[in-house]
Amino acid sequence: MSVDLVNRDPNGLNDHIKVQFEDVLAEPEGAHSIDCVWKLSYTCFNLWLGLCYKLLTLFYGICIAAEWGCEFAAIAFYHIWYITPLLRICEINCSVFTKVTKTCLSCCMEPCCEAIGGLFVHFKK
């Protein structure tokens, strides 16, 4: 499997994060700065955004990715070796309980319900 260096968010996990200049800074009609200020602001914003992001990912990104890898490995381990077998135990025990409950209801409640139903069958609108 190779890493896609062009589309780094193919599933759109971070669509909610808007970090483009136009998504962060905007001047409404009637409140415009001097054109050179707006152009320099755009340049500075993009320069510092890119530089800071690259430095943060350089210093912390690999360690954080390693931590997340360990975290998801632990989650997979717990699900495979603990949670799924525990759920299977619950399913097995609940199926027995379901059979016992159905049997008890069939023996105790069903005759009563049929008798009461037999009484009301004669009432008609």
Structural domain for 77, as ranges: 33-93
Over residues 56-78, the mean pLDDT reads: 96
Mean pLDDT of the chain: 91
Answer whether residue 77 is part of any domain. Answer: yes
Answer whether residue 102 is part of any domain. Answer: no
User: pLDDT digit string (tens) for 25-63?
Assistant: 888 888 999 999 999 999 999 999 999 999 999 999 999
pTM of the complete model beyond 0.75: no
CA-CA distance, 21 to 77, in Å (whole number)?
Answer: 42
Answer whether residue 15 is part of any domain. Answer: no
Answer whether residue 87 is part of any domain. Answer: yes
Question: Which pLDDT does position 47 carry in this prediction?
Answer: 96
Answer whether residue 59 is part of any domain. Answer: yes
Number of folded domains that form the chain: 1
Label residue 12 left, alpha or beta by phi (over 0 means left) and psi (-120 to 50 means alpha).
left
Other beta carbons within 10 angstroms of residue 61's beta carbon come to: 13
CA-CA distance, 93 to 18, in Å (whole number)?
Answer: 50
Task: Give the confidence band of 117 by pLDDT, cuts at 50, 70, 90.
Answer: confident
Kindly tell me if the per-residue pLDDT of 125 is higher than 70: no
Answer whether residue 121 is part of any domain. Answer: no
Question: Which pLDDT does position 41 carry in this prediction?
Answer: 94
- Six-digit token pair at 125? 């609108």
- Specify the higher pLDDT residue, 78 or 115: 78
- Six-digit token pair at 80? 């495979």
Answer whether residue 50 is part of any domain. Answer: yes
Answer whether residue 14 is part of any domain. Answer: no
CA-CA distance, 108 to 71, in Å (whole number)?
Answer: 51
Task: Give the confidence band of 72 by pLDDT, cuts at 50, 70, 90.
Answer: very high
